[in-house]
Structure 1
Amino acid sequence: MNKLTPGTALTLKIARKADFGYFLTDGTEEVMLHKSEASKVHDENEAVEVFLYQDHEGRLAATETKPKVRLDTLAWLDVAGQNKKYGVFLNMGIKKDVLLSKDDLPHDWELWPAVGDKIYSGLKLDKKGRLFADLATEEEMVEQAEAAGPEQHNQVLEGYVYKQNESGVLLFTDNQFIGFIHRDEMTRKLRLGEKVSARVSFVREDGRINMSMKPRKEEAYSEDAEAILHYLRKNKGQMALTDKSAPSEIEETFQISKAAFKRAMGKLLKENKIVQEDGKTFLKI
């Protein structure tokens, strides 16, 4: 690997000036520092600390702007754009964004990061020496993670999706816990890099946490019961549904399972708010 490598930060000497910038050298190779990338006016032979990257023409270039990430570091980078042909672009803190290749992204475009999402990433060079974003490995996530304690149970935490698999997604929370949301505990599909709010449903012995986007059963009963009451009030205090109704009819009306409907109906019956007669449910209050 040559010393003048994209993705690295180093100190170079100004070999000579030009109208449009400065030619920097390490004694063997030269690289251009454009005036728009310089922090101030420089003199010949002055030592300048720069970051090397590839410009929009693919040429090696230098900037005095400090990047958020280098070849030997990792950082949370904001998603700046998306191109279905190539992948997504991440803001690494300089004028030029870095590409996270579609080869490192899910096959389903709906699961790709959107503008504003965050990706924990490093940088890498491909076989042609081109600079790309490099997703952090599971080992690198574990290295910076903290162990959760039992006091986190039932707490609602926020975090970013950093890994997807057939079973669900892995989150890195704001307080540096690693959380897992099983697909059965999701209320919708989650993108890579998306910020998610979820409840801690279980704290494992290794300090990782299982999480759920669904409300606790007690809260779900209450929400479903309120939905049934609202429906009854809007329909003159009655509906042609009972806890004996077909699951398809219940789901079509309330978008919940028959089991959830029966739990909510049981709550309302126990509270003496409804009565069921002749295949119908009537509001009592």
Structure 2
Amino acid sequence: MIKIGKRQLLKVNNYTPIGLYLDAETGNEEDNILLPKNELELLEKKPEIGEELDVFIYRDSEDRLISTLRVTYATIGTLAKLEVTDINSKIGAFLDWGLKKELLLPKGQEVGKLEIGKKYLVGLYEDKKGRISATMKVYKFLLPCKDYKKNDLVTGTVYNIDNNIGVFVAVDDRYFGMMPKNEYFKEYKIGQEITARVIRVREDGKLDLAPRKLAFEQLDDDGKIILEKMRILKSAFHFNDKSSPEEIYDYFGISKKAFKRAIGGLLKQGLIEKNGENFVLKK
């Protein structure tokens, strides 16, 4: 049985001036698959009738089934980061997937605004017309994960953002991951590669993530930021427990909780002191 979008072993059936035909094993020679003549240049020697070749099956520009010896960057049912080579505002985007014929990412399968020359995480599927297409809606391609545990650092790709829920991340570009809305304080973009910390491994194998290090590891970084700002602002440093979370994040890039934790650490280290409601560098 011919499997479109997959690699498979097919036997050489016969030669023609335009290439050779591979046996589709249907009993009908009209179903046999062409391996174009220019593909034979990739082989060290001319294959014999009955010899098996490892080929990838797809459809050409005229929607005919055809085979290639070339290796694609992904096959149907798998994920890959593919580069956008062109964009058609009505049809969709075209991706480089290792073949001369580019792969279509239909308009309805795009997530966010795409840019030519950038790579995006996509999954490959067979559409209703039997053609191989790409989609950025990769949730159904992702797998549960048991490889990581709480506090492990992981890398992944942002594939969706829901302002009411959080940022969805494909961990290792293959596992379910999500940063809940209350765990991050900056903007993310579709396709962005991030490093995060596992804060929970759910029973179903999905990972809850946070973008920051453990509190005791982050303290030094946050403390350094606050000290530097205090040296710059001097007596004009007015941030304290009454400052709003928005003010703190806009200026320091950290949450109010992280700010208070860092301030507490600096006080314990004797680097700063409290003067009324404000904090100042200790002389």
TM-score by length of 2: 0.71
**Correspondence for 2:57:** 52
Q: CA deviation at 1:224?
A: 2.6
- Contact 2:166–2:180 (8 Å) recurs in 1: yes
**Correspondence for 2:30:** 28
**Correspondence for 1:189:** 188
Task: Tell me whether 1:109 sits opposite 2:113 in the alignment.
Answer: yes
Q: CA deviation at 1:104?
A: 1.8
Give the unaligned 5+ runs of structure 1.
none
- SS of equivalent to 2:70: coil
What whole-Å deviation, never above 9, does each CA across 1:136-171 have from its counterpart, x for those lacking one?
8756533xx44256xx22111123445655523444
Q: Distance in 2 between matches of 1:54 and 1:109?
A: 28
Q: How many positions carry a matched residue from both structures?
A: 268
Q: CA deviation at 1:190?
A: 4.0
Q: CA deviation at 1:178?
A: 3.4
Q: CA deviation at 1:124?
A: 0.4
Task: Tell me whether 1:147 sits opposite 2:146 in the alignment.
Answer: yes
- Written as runs of structure 1 = structure 2, the 5 A alignment for 1:99-178 is 99-106=104-111, 108-109=112-113, 115-119=118-122, 121-127=123-129, 129-133=130-134, 141-142=142-143, 145-148=144-147, 152-161=149-158, 165=162, 167-174=165-172, 178=176
Select between 197-206 and 58-67 the one with higher mean Cα deviation.
Answer: 58-67
Identity in percent: 25
- Contact 2:33–2:65 (8 Å) recurs in 1: yes
Q: Distance in 2 between matches of 1:270 and 1:84?
A: 59
Aligned residue among 268, 275, 284 for 2:273 = 275
- SS of equivalent to 1:225: helix
CA spacing shift, 1:255–1:195, aligned 2, 3 Å: closer
Q: CA deviation at 1:66?
A: 4.2
Q: Distance in 2 between matches of 1:217 and 1:171?
A: 22
Task: Tell me whether 1:94 sits opposite 2:99 in the alignment.
Answer: yes
- Contact 2:12–2:48 (8 Å) recurs in 1: no
The residue identity in structure 2 corresponding to 1:173 is: V
- SS of equivalent to 1:266: helix
- Contact 1:169–1:182 (8 Å) recurs in 2: yes
For the aligned residue pairs, the C-alpha RMSD in angstroms reads 4.0
Q: Distance in 1 between matches of 2:171 and 2:16?
A: 49
Q: Distance in 2 between matches of 1:175 and 1:204?
A: 18
Q: Distance in 2 between matches of 1:271 and 1:32?
A: 74
Task: Tell me whether 1:78 sits opposite 2:81 in the alignment.
Answer: yes
**Correspondence for 1:200:** 198
The residue identity in structure 2 corresponding to 1:147 is: K
CA spacing shift, 1:116–1:59, aligned 2, 3 Å: same
